[in-house]
């Protein structure tokens, strides 16, 4: 939606930015109201009808939060008020996101068909619902300190995060809205914000959209035409890189736009494919969702307080909910269950290592590199489930990735490299496919993409001297000085080139993948 309407964004952003700082001269409350109003306009550009739903959600949750907080202050906060509030939020989310799925599932079980029509999923409903559920729970726990209605409205509607995250926490955002420095224009904020935005734009329109054509055909045809080993791995890796750059690009752009206003968003993405185990992967991938699932789902189930078996059950249940959050489909649930199993195995292995007194491998050891590769392959296999429209497609691709189908290469390879073809042919490789040039392009794209993923510093490492977002200090890898951004002419030229490439690639742009979640 955002880039399909990029002319609107090019008008909306400067008008909102200039208006914000000009109105701030008349008072912080007015500036916050202006930013909240502008955020609603931004959301209405997609579909004005759903602004009513968003406004109703904000009003309901704010009133419930006020009631819960006031009763907590006198020691009489009833749990039923919290339960009822969360139930209403989940009922609304469930209707829009899961009604069709559950009706279809029930119809399959009872061999009947019920038609309630196709319900359009409002953009960002999962994000602003989870954001407000966290607010209600913290109000019940006595952790809410700011009940300013303007700040709360801005906290929920703030447009850089509203469409696809990150999931915000009131303790991080609402104090910023009270800071006088936020309402003053700063050259550093503009420079840092535009740089991060340019990097994010490049990731999305050049890298993610550039490699996407090598992923789509595999998942579109695998159910009816079993892919070869090379096609399966090529398409799966292409989607793995596409999703990485797509989500990383959006996260950067959200942080960059927000920084223009002097407001810091929480870090949501920290080179997750560099993780050496699944636990670390989930500390790096969609970090605010992982935080929400840990603090408000896993701990609510009991966490690790009731013994090891119960802990593993809680992990599985939490990841099942995480899978269902991503989409109303059995493949998403299976993906969540798979990652739940991954986490259980990871925690069990850590426990075994403690019993056997096995030390932690250094990051450069052979064991650590093997763990890194094993984790990455496990994640790639999971993405096959995540992306596949049905189980038939996923099974077909995974079978091919395991080598259970023929190993074939384009015939053009045999034509141009006869000696290599003779050697590979003796090993059972067939040269029966077309698209030799397509294979070469895919290999080049994958080589470039995976090099960036595994070797290049990420955005927060490049910008680390200027603390681009909340939680930047959690980044794990040191960055050489030559890669660290500075406000110099040289870096300005580099950023202009990067941003220019991103803008020139807008002609082939697609929606962000996380818009559908």
Q: Which residues are catalytic?
A: 326
Which distant-in-sequence residues (6+ apart) come within 8 Å of 413 by Cβ? Answer: 420, 421, 431, 436, 439
Of residues 270, 223, 318, the one with CA closest to residue 472: 270
Contact 314, 298 (CB under 8 A): yes
Q: Please tell me the distance from the alpha carbon of residue 338 to that of residue 381, in angstroms, as a whole number.
A: 10
Which distant-in-sequence residues (6+ apart) come within 8 Å of 141 by Cβ? Answer: none
Q: Please tell me the distance from the alpha carbon of residue 507 to that of residue 509, in angstroms, as a whole number.
A: 6
Helix (H) or strand (E) holding 134: helix 125-140
Q: Please tell me the distance from the alpha carbon of residue 381 to that of residue 401, in angstroms, as a whole number.
A: 9
Of residues 517, 513, 516, 515, the one with CA closest to residue 204: 513
Residue 254, token pair as written in the block:
């959200």
Q: What share of the chain is helix, strand, coil (3-state, %, to 5)?
A: 75, 0, 25
Q: Please tell me the distance from the alpha carbon of residue 386 to that of residue 330, in angstroms, as a whole number.
A: 10
DSSP state of 363: T
DSSP string, 445-509: HHHHHHHHHHTS--HHHHTGGG--SBTGGG--S---GGGS--SSHHHHHHHHHHHHHHHHGGGG-
Q: Please tell me the distance from the alpha carbon of residue 59 to that of residue 72, in angstroms, as a whole number.
A: 20
Q: Please tell me the distance from the alpha carbon of residue 325 to that of residue 126, in angstroms, as a whole number.
A: 7
Q: Please tell me the distance from the alpha carbon of residue 219 to that of residue 207, in angstroms, as a whole number.
A: 19
Contact 162, 84 (CB under 8 A): no
Residue 403, token pair as written in the block:
């080598």
Q: Please tell me the distance from the alpha carbon of residue 315 to that of residue 322, in angstroms, as a whole number.
A: 10
On the 0-12 / 13-18 / 19+ scale of CB atoms within 10 A, 147 is middle
Which distant-in-sequence residues (6+ apart) come within 8 Å of 177 by Cβ? Answer: 28, 32, 146, 148, 151, 154, 155, 263
Strand-pairing partners, residue 285, are 269
Of residues 133, 103, 128, 131, the one with CA closest to residue 117: 103
List b or e across 419-443, with b for residues whose CB sees 16 or more CB atoms inside 10 angstroms: eebeebeeeebebebeebebbeebe
- Phi (first) and psi of residue 431, to 5 degrees: -115, 80
């Amino acid at each position: 939606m955002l880039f399909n309407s990029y002319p609107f964004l090019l008008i909306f952003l400067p008008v909102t930015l200039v208006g914000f700082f000009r109105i701030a001269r008349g008072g912080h409350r007015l500036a916050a109201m202006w930013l909240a109003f502008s955020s609603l306009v931004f959301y209405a550009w997609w579909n004005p009808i759903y602004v009513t739903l968003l406004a109703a959600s904000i009003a309901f949750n704010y009133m419930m939060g006020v009631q819960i907080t006031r009763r907590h202050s006198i020691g009489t906060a009833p749990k039923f008020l919290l339960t009822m509030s969360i139930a209403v939020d989940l009922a609304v989310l469930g209707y829009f996101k899961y009604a069709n799925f559950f009706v279809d599932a029930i119809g399959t079980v009872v061999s009947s068909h019920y038609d309630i029509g196709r319900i359009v999923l409002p953009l960002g409903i999962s994000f602003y619902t989870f954001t407000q559920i966290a607010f209600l729970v913290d109000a019940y726990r006595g952790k809410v300190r700011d009940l300013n209605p303007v700040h709360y409205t801005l906290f929920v509607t703030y447009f850089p995060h509203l469409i696809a995250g990150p999931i915000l926490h009131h303790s991080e955002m609402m104090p910023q809205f009270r800071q006088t420095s936020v309402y003053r224009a700063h050259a550093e904020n503009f420079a840092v914000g535009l740089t991060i935005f340019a990097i994010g734009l490049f990731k999305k329109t050049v890298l993610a959209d550039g490699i996407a054509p090598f992923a789509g055909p595999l998942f579109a045809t695998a159910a009816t035409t079993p892919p070869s080993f090379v096609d399966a791995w090529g398409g799966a890796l292409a989607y793995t890189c596409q999703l990485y750059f797509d989500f990383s690009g959006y996260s950067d752009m959200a942080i960059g736009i927000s920084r223009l206003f002097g407001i810091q968003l929480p870090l949501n993405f920290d080179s997750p494919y560099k993780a050496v185990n699944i636990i670390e992967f989930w500390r790096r991938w969609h970090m605010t969702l992982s935080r929400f699932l840990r603090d408000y789902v896993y701990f609510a189930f009991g966490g690790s307080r009731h013994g090891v078996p119960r802990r593993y059950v809680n992990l599985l249940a939490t990841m099942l909910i995480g899978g269902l959050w991503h989409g109303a489909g059995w493949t998403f649930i299976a993906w969540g269950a798979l990652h739940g199993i991954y986490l259980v195995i990871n925690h069990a292995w850590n426990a075994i290592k403690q019993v056997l007194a096995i030390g932690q491998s250094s990051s450069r050891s052979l064991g650590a590199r093997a763990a890194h590769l094993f984790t990455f392959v496990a994640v790639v296999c999971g993405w096959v489930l995540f992306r596949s429209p049905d189980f038939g497609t996923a099974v077909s691709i995974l079978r091919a990735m395991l080598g259970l189908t023929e190993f074939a290469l384009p015939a053009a390879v045999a034509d141009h490299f006869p000696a290599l073809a003779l050697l590979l042919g003796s090993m059972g490789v067939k040269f029966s496919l077309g698209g030799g040039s397509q294979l070469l392009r895919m290999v080049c794209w994958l080589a470039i993409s995976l090099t960036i993923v595994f070797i290049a510093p990420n955005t927060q490492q490049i910008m680390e001297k200027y603390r681009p977002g909340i939680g930047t200090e959690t980044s794990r890898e040191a960055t050489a000085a030559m890669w660290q951004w500075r406000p110099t002419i040289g870096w300005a030229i580099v950023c202009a080139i990067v941003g220019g490439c991103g803008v020139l690639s807008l002609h082939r742009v697609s929606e962000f993948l996380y818009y559908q979640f």
